Amino acid sequence: MLKIKNLNVSTADNIQILKNLNLTINEGEVHAIMGPNGSGKSTLASVISGDPKYIIKTGEITFFGENLMELEPEERAVLGLFLSFQYPVEIPGISLNNFIKTALNQKQKALKLKTLSPKFILERIKENAKILKINLDFIKRSVNVGFSGGEKKRAEIFQMLMLEPRLSILDETDSGLDIDALKIVAKGVGRLRNGKSSFVIITHYQRLLDYIKPDFVHVLSDGKIIKSGGPEIAKMLEEKGYEWI
Amino acid sequence: MGSEKNKTLKEITKNKYQYGFVSKIETEKFKPGLNKKIISLISSKRDEPSWMLEYRLKAFDALQKMTPPNWANLKIKPIDLQKIIYYAAPKKPKYNSLDEVDPELLKTFNKLGISIDEQKKITGVAIDIVVDSVSVATTFQKTLKKLGIIFCSMSDAIKHHSELVKKHLGSVVPYTDNYFAALNAAVFTDGSFCYIPKGVRCPMELSTYFRINEAGTGQFERTLLVAEKDSCVSYLEGCTAPMRDENQLHAAVVELVALEGAEIKYSTVQNWYPGDEKGNGGVYNFVTKRGICFNHAKISWTQIETGSAITWKYPSCILKGNNSIGEFFSVAVTNNFQQADTGTKMIHLGKNTKSTIISKGVCAGKSNGSYRGLVKIAKSAENARNFSQCDSLLMGQNCGAHTFPYIESNNNSAIVEHEATTSKISDDQLFYCKQRGIPEEEAIGLIVNGYCKDVLKKLPMEFAVEAQKLLEISLEGSVG
Ligand SMILES: Nc1ncnc2c1ncn2[C@@H]1O[C@H](COP(=O)(O)OP(=O)(O)OP(=O)(O)O)[C@@H](O)[C@H]1O
Ligand SMILES: [Mg+2]
């Protein structure tokens, strides 16, 4: 579903971050991306979702055959792309509840489908909140405002469950989560794992991968994928560090 | 993300004024010009008692000794009072039912989305619609009458409740107060009068839709609200105006009297023609709004200001009585070449008086928004408290937000707090929204509404929806 070919990406000040990167993700697959700090993992996630901060110098990104580079971030979202941000931003004055409703109905509008009834949305909210053990009062709070680190991550996964994306990129969603929360997040991901939805899981730790078994593990270093393989790579990294490669 | 966002911002701010049209109502009007003869004519046209004419003429004398204020952070072309028409009224001013109303006028209301029919149905809102200067339709009078509430046009009030008007008119805003107040006192043609008797809680929101309708017609409403001891009322005022090229002067005066233990909530949504993208035309809005609170009384001003080329407006509270409370909640949106200098004055005279100020400025395009506020604590105001929060939100690089808080404290027991912030909608916030499938335009609307939430939630329910719509219209509206 996602094909990235020879991708070269720079910042506005022309610092090259991604170098000739290639990655293919098929339906139903889970890919883990690991790599040292500053290697370009978040940049890759941002570029796939269309953050205008980054400039694509050369290369191709297609999603279900569509040239992603020609699409606005919101159009990519409508196609079923979701990013769980490493650092979710605060939006004061808008409740998570209202925000997710707006997002769902904007998507309906873009797909020329009819507006979802508040009742229907509420049912979905309740259902997903239950899975993630989120209190309904929490959903009334302003998006990410004053959320603890773990709460922010949980709120991201909540949005993911609500939007039912076809490809979800989780950028260090496990960082800052306690063991129980980690299991809950894994359960959330498991719910969408139906053989059709795919995941890119960016992480530094093996532990999330214990709960969400990846099909492939890639190691990103200095903007390049330097190693790809199965789950065993993650285990080796955990034991021996990046030196091992 | 520079150019991309600028493009969308430009499109958003280009948004045409939706309510710009002129209804073809036959109108009776005077020749332009301001002199004693015109003032006498206004007064006699309205069958006013002689004290009213005398009052107007005294105001006119005072006006001639005054000059327009120039301390505001506004660039204003000189206004020639002699070029203004001081009276215009629909030819057939009163109707018993909608069938009698000029169909053109009904069409106008329909275009505005405020058809009288619809309004009547909505949650019992009584409406006193002012087209130009004369009230056209007044509803719900019976219910109000039973409670002894008077809600009528100012001209009716002068005729039928002369003593009440005489007692309170000019008691809060005397004609000597400022240039525009003097002008208004001399030439006001209509407006609303509201009287709530002792101990009565008005069971419905009282609402007035103002509308400037006639080319070159100055609009000088006069509103007076008197809430007797322990009474309570919520009043709504909303405005839209048709698209025009020449500037239209508007100088209204609103006076609120909250007697002991009374509570007045006054909400405004102002959406007059702001001028075009090039800065041509638009309404000049110079308003004097002030209320006085006696012991234990409370006055709350809530305003959503999105229209007008120039806004000069400082709804204020004189906290005369002990334990009285003044509040000011404001959202002021400026776009294109709009200029707004708005804020409030809280004058603490009584003991244990409290005031709260929450001001949210949103500036886009090449506009300028200023908050100007005075918190004055008199020597007598033992234990006075004030909290002020003034936030500005900037959109794009070409607009400006300014804050001028003045604090005069003459009593050591007073606590005055002031907080101010200036922010921008961050690229990261926009990207976050877009990643969730919310396009830029909607994202901006969402963020702005969130930013203004503390004020929007102070509006009565019926108005909150309308106000949100207005914010969206003035900032995002019909792109493409
Ligand atoms: N907008 C930017 N301007 C300049 N440099 C940037 C920008 N964004 C990222 N970088 C740099 O690009 C490199 C890759 O950053 P990125 O956030 O993608 O790393 P990461 O692999 O996600 O790291 P971590 O594991 O710490 O999250 C870093 O050196 C970072 O400083
Ligand atoms: Mg990162």
The string of pLDDT tens digits covering residues A156-168 is: 999 999 999 999 9
Structural contact between residues B307 and B271, judged by C-beta atoms closer than 8 angstroms: yes
> Quick one: average pLDDT of B42-50?
87
Mean pLDDT for all residues in chain A: 93
Give the CA-trace dihedral at B156, B157, B159, B162, to 10 degrees: 180
H/E run at residue A238: helix A232-240
CA atoms within 13 A on the CB side of B124: 9
Backbone phi, then psi, for B295, in 5-degree steps? -50, 135
Is pLDDT above 90 for A11? yes
Instruction: Answer yes or no: is pLDDT of A91 > 60.
Output: yes
Indicate the top mutation candidate among A11, A43, A44 to test ligand 1's pocket, ranked by most ligand atoms within 8 A of CB. Answer: A43
Count of other CB atoms within 10 angstroms of residue A190: 12
- Cα distance between residue B30 and residue B88, in whole Å: 7
**Whole-angstrom Cα distance, residue B449 to residue B267?**
17
Write down the pLDDT at residue B457. Answer: 85
**Of B253, B235, B234, nearest in space to B172 by CA:** B253
For residue B287, what are the β-bridge partners?
B313
Say whether B436 and A91 touch across the interface (CB within 8 A). no
Q: Decide: A10 and A17 in contact? Cβ < 8 Å.
A: yes
d(CA A186, CA A192): 10
- Interatomic CA distance for residues B13 and B397, integer angstroms: 13
Residue A148 distance to chain B (closest CA, Å): 18
**Residues B2-10: what's their mean pLDDT?**
46
Q: How far apart, in whole angstroms, are the C-alpha atoms of residue A78 and residue A222?
A: 31
Q: Is the confidence at residue B475, as pLDDT, over 90?
A: no
- Binned at pLDDT 50, 70 and 90, residue B2 comes out as very low
Residue B277: its pLDDT value, please?
73
Give, in order, the Cα–Cα distances in Å from A219 to each of A7, A58, B268.
Answer: 16, 22, 60
Question: pLDDT-derived band of residue A40, with 50, 70 and 90 as boundaries?
Answer: very high
Enclosing H/E stretch for B42: helix B36-45
Categorize the per-residue pLDDT at B5 as very low, low, confident or very high, splitting at 50, 70 and 90.
Answer: very low
Least trusted range by pLDDT, from A89-98, A213-222, B94-103, B341-350: B94-103
Chain A within 8 Å of B471 (Cβ-Cβ)?
Answer: no
Chain B hits for A91, CB-CB cut-off 8 Å, are: 429, 432-433, 446-447, 450
- What CA–CA distances, in Å, run from B353 to B133, B373, B375, B467? 37, 17, 12, 30
- Mean pLDDT, to the nearest integer, of A71-82? 96
Dihedral angle sign, alpha carbons of residues A13, A14, A16, A17: positive
Of B143-147, B295-299, B441-445, which has the strongest mean pLDDT?
Answer: B295-299
The nearest alpha carbon in chain A to B451 belongs to: A93
Among A9, A15, A54, A237, residue to substitute to test ligand 1 (most atoms within 8 Å of Cβ): A15
Q: Which residue of B has its CA nearest to A156?
A: B436
Per-residue b or e along B315-354, where b marks 16 or more CB atoms closer than 10 Å to that residue's CB: bbbbbbbbbbbbbbbbbbbbbbbbbbbbbbbbbbbbbbbb
Report the pLDDT value the prediction gives residue B26, as an integer from 0 to 100: 53
DSSP state of A70: G
pLDDT of residue B108: 46
Question: Rounded mean pLDDT of chain B?
Answer: 79
Identify which ligand lies nearest to the alpha carbon of A17. 1
Tell me the pLDDT band of B334, cut-offs 50, 70 and 90. confident
pLDDT at A200 over 60: yes
- Of A72, A92, A99, which is closest to B434 when you measure between CB atoms? A72
Q: Which residue would you say has higher pLDDT here, A143 or B134?
A: A143
Q: Which ligand is nearest to the CA of B428?
A: 1
Residue B100 has pLDDT above 80, yes or no: no
From chain B residues 395-434, the ones with a CB under 8 A of any chain A CB are: 426-429, 431-434
Determine the distance separating the centroid of ligand 1 and the alpha carbon of A237, expressed in angstroms: 21
- B216 pLDDT band, cuts 50/70/90, is very low
Here the tokens at position B267 are 């909400």
Percent of chain B whose predicted confidence (pLDDT) is above 90: 36
Length of chain A: 245
Nearest alpha carbon, ligand 1 atom 24: A37
The backbone region for A241, taken as left when phi is positive above 0, alpha when psi lies in -120 to 50, beta otherwise, is left
The pLDDT tens digits of the residues spanning B252-303 come to 899 999 999 999 999 988 777 777 777 777 888 889 999 999 999 999 999 9
Q: Which residues of B touch A49 (CB under 8 A)?
A: 435
pLDDT at residue B10 is higher than 50 = no
Question: Which residues, in sequence order, are CB contacts of A219 under 8 Å at separation 6+?
Answer: A33, A34, A35, A225, A226, A227, A228, A233, A237, A242, A245
Q: How far is the CA of A48 from the centre of ligand 2 (A)?
A: 14
* pLDDT band at residue B140 under the 50/70/90 scheme: low
Give the three-class secondary structure for A98. Answer: helix
Of residues B4, B429, B451, nearest to A52 (C-beta)? B4
Q: Tell me if B288 sits within 8 A of B261, measured CB to CB.
A: no
CA of A10 to the centre of ligand 1 (A): 11
A86 touches chain B (CB under 8 A): no
Tell me, yes or no, if B449 comes closer than 8 A to chain A by beta carbon.
yes
Alpha-carbon distance of B204 to B123, in angstroms, equals 8
User: Distances from the Cα of B469 to the Cαs of B279, B304, B308, B335, B392, in angstroms?
Assistant: 23, 11, 17, 16, 20
- Sign of the C-alpha dihedral computed for residues B52, B53, B56 and B57 taken in this order: negative
pTM attached to this predicted model: 0.78
Task: Answer whether residue B429 shows pLDDT above 50.
Answer: yes
pLDDT at A50 > cutoff 80 = yes
From CA B1, how far away is CA A223, in angstroms rounded?
A: 22
Rounded Cα gap, residues B62 and B170, in angstroms: 14
Q: pLDDT at residue B115 above 60?
A: no
Tell me what the mean pLDDT of segment B200-209 comes to: 80
CB atoms within 10 A of CB A174: 21
Is the pLDDT assigned to residue B417 strictly greater than 80? Answer: yes
Q: Residue B208 — pLDDT band, cuts 50, 70, 90? A: low
Alpha-carbon torsion B47, B49, B50, B55, what sign? negative
- Tell me which of A46-55, B131-140, B313-322 is least confident: B131-140
Tokens of B323: 């334990």
Per-residue pLDDT, averaged over B419-439, amounts to: 92
Of B114-118, B184-188, B359-363, B435-439, the one with minimum mean pLDDT is B114-118
Kindly state whether A92 is in contact with chain B, defined as any CB-CB distance less than 8 angstroms. yes
Q: Which amino acid is at A219?
A: V
Where residue B85 falls among pLDDT bands split at 50, 70, 90? confident
Work out the minimum CA distance from B3 to partner chain A, whole angstroms.
10
In this prediction, residue B28 carries a pLDDT of: 60
Q: Strands, E, within chain A: which ranges?
A: 2-11, 16-25, 30-34, 54-63, 66-67, 81-84, 91-95, 142-143, 167-171, 198-202, 216-221, 224-229
Q: What is the 3-state secondary structure (H, E, C) of B259-315?
A: CCCCEEEEEEEEECCCCCCCCCCCEEEEEEEEEEECCCCEEEEEEEECCCCEEEECC
Cβ–Cβ below 8 Å for A74 and B1: no
Q: Which residues of A touch B446 (CB under 8 A)?
A: 91, 94, 99, 102
Residue B458 reports pLDDT greater than 80: yes
User: What atom in ligand 1 is closest to the CA of residue A36?
Assistant: 25
Q: Which of A217-221, B105-109, B240-244, B449-453 has the highest mean pLDDT?
A: A217-221
Measured between CB atoms, which of A53, A88, A89 is closest to B1? A53
Q: What is the pLDDT of residue B394?
A: 86
Beta carbons of B437 and A110 less than 8 Å apart: yes
Q: Is A28 on the interface with B (CB under 8 A)?
A: no
Averaged pLDDT, A32-39: 94
Residue that wins the pLDDT comparison between B434 and A234: B434
Give the SS3 label for residue B53. Answer: helix
Whole-angstrom Cα distance, residue B373 to residue B315? Answer: 10
Atom index in ligand 1 nearest the CA of residue A45 equals 18
pLDDT above 90: residue B6 = no
Answer for the pair B258, B287: CB distance below 8 angstroms, yes or no. no
Map tokens 């006192």 to a residue: B185
**Chain A partners within 8 Å of B457 (Cβ):** none
Average pLDDT, integer, range B62-71: 87
Q: Looking at CA atoms only, how far is residue B307 from chain A in angstroms?
A: 23
Task: Give yes or no for B448 touching A (CB within 8 A).
Answer: no
- Gap from A174 CA to chain B (nearest CA, Å): 19
User: What is the average per-residue pLDDT within B84-113?
Assistant: 54
**Residue ranges around ligand 1 (CB below 6 Å):** A 11, 15, 17, 35, 37-43, 53, 86
Q: Chain B: nearest CA to A237, how far in angstroms? A: 32
Nearest to B428 among A89, A100, A107 (CB): A89
- Find the mean pLDDT for residues B68-92: 73
Output the pLDDT for position B91: 44
Q: What is the dihedral of CA A201, A203, A206, A211, to 10 degrees?
A: -40
State the average pLDDT over residues B218-238: 88
Cβ-based contacts of A89 with chain B (< 8 Å):
426, 428-429, 432
pLDDT for B119 beyond 90: no
Residue B425's contacts (CB-CB under 8 Å, 6 or more residues apart) are B393, B395, B444, B447, B448
Q: Which residue has the tokens 């334990």?
A: B323
Contact residues, B window 313-372, toward A, CB-based 8 Å cutoff: none
pLDDT at A206 over 50: yes
Q: Which of B4, B427, B438 sits opposite A103 (nearest CB)?
A: B438
Nearest CA to ligand 1 atom 16: A40
Mutate to test the interface with A, among B3, B423, B431 (most CBs of A within 10 A): B431
